[in-house]
């Protein structure tokens, strides 16, 4: 789910921001060492997973948890004049400025579910990462936080991930990497029903066995 959300954020921002940025990618530590190395890629935007900030029980189920995850969009731009121009933009169209990038990112992401089984994104903090000079250029970089939530299913107590040949199964990774597996639960074939008819004694209680038919399409 986390990777799917990252990819969907990148795709929406890439399409939505258009020529405001050179590119939108997932973050790979571009700002960790020397911010000057990214000057040629600005204005730009990066997406990264910021962690899980909360996990809570979903209804009364022991197997379901509501997980709140945080995602961060980093935007940056530079200007050869001054720091204010790096934030505010300039007279030329390619002088976008980080203030406009922050507003545009929040406009594109807030309230969206990206077509995934997640809650709508809620905007969070916007923080300054850099407002500095690099190689006689004013560099401005901000991070924009967004929170969303999804349902995470836990294994039953004592169970291992389920054995499956389906590459789309929830436990496909455990199958691919030869982890410990449990066989799937057997199909439900019949249900026993015990009932008491009015006007009869308890000794006359009836018991039926209802067969569960499986249709040709696989549905019960």
Question: Residue 103 sits in a domain of what CATH number?
Answer: 3.30.2000.10
pLDDT of residue 76: 87
208 domain-assigned: no
106 lies in a domain? yes
Q: Is residue 191 part of a domain?
A: no
**What confidence score (pLDDT) does residue 140 get?**
83
- pTM value > 0.85: no
User: What tens digit of pLDDT does each residue of 126-182 get?
Assistant: 999 876 666 666 778 899 999 999 999 998 888 899 898 888 888 899 999 988 998
Residue 175 is assigned to a structural domain of this protein: no
196 within domain boundaries: no
Encode 83-122: b = buried (16+ Cβ within 10 Å), e = exposed: bebbbbbbeeeebbbbbbbbebbbebbeebebeeebeebe
Number of domains in the chain: 1
CA 85 to chain centre: 34
Backbone angles phi, psi at 20, to 5 degrees: -65, -30
64 lies in which domain range? 2-153
> Is residue 75 a part of any domain in this protein?
yes
Among 52, 172, 180, 173, smallest CA distance to 118 is for 52
- Relative to beta strand 64-79, strand 122-134 is unpaired
Domain annotation covers residue 202: no
**Does the residue 179 lie in any domain?**
no
**pLDDT tens-digit map of 29-78:** 777 766 667 777 788 999 999 999 999 998 777 889 999 999 999 998 86
The beta strands (E) that lie in the chain are given as 24-26, 44-57, 64-79, 122-134, 137-153, 190-195, 206-211
Q: Residue 191: exposed, middle, or buried by beta-carbon count in 10 A (0-12, 13-18, 19+)?
A: exposed
> To the nearest whole number, what is the mean pLDDT of the chain?
81
CA distance 13 to 20: 10
């Amino acid at each position: 789910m986390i990777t799917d959300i990252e990819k969907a954020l990148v795709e929406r921002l890439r399409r939505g921001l258009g020529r405001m940025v050179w590119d939108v990618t997932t973050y790979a530590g571009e700002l960790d060492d020397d911010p000057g190395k990214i000057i040629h890629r600005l204005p730009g935007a990066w997406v990264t997973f910021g962690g899980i900030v909360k996990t809570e029980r979903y209804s009364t189920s022991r197997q379901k948890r509501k997980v709140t995850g945080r995602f961060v969009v980093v935007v940056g731009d530079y200007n050869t004049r001054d720091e204010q121009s790096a934030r505010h933009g300039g007279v030329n169209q390619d002088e976008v400025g980080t203030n406009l990038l922050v507003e545009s990112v929040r406009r594109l992401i807030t309230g969206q579910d990206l077509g995934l089984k997640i809650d709508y994104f809620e905007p969070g903090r916007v923080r300054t990462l850099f407002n500095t000079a690099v190689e006689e250029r004013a560099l401005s970089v901000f991070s924009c936080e967004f929170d969303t939530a999804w349902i995470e299913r836990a294994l039953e107590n004592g169970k291992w991930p389920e054995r499956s040949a389906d590459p789309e199964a929830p436990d496909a990774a455990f199958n691919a990497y030869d982890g410990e597996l449990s066989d799937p639960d057997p199909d439900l074939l019949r249900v026993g029903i015990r009932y008491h008819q009015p006007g009869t004694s308890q000794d006359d209680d009836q018991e039926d066995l209802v067969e569960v038919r499986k249709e040709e399409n696989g549905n019960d």
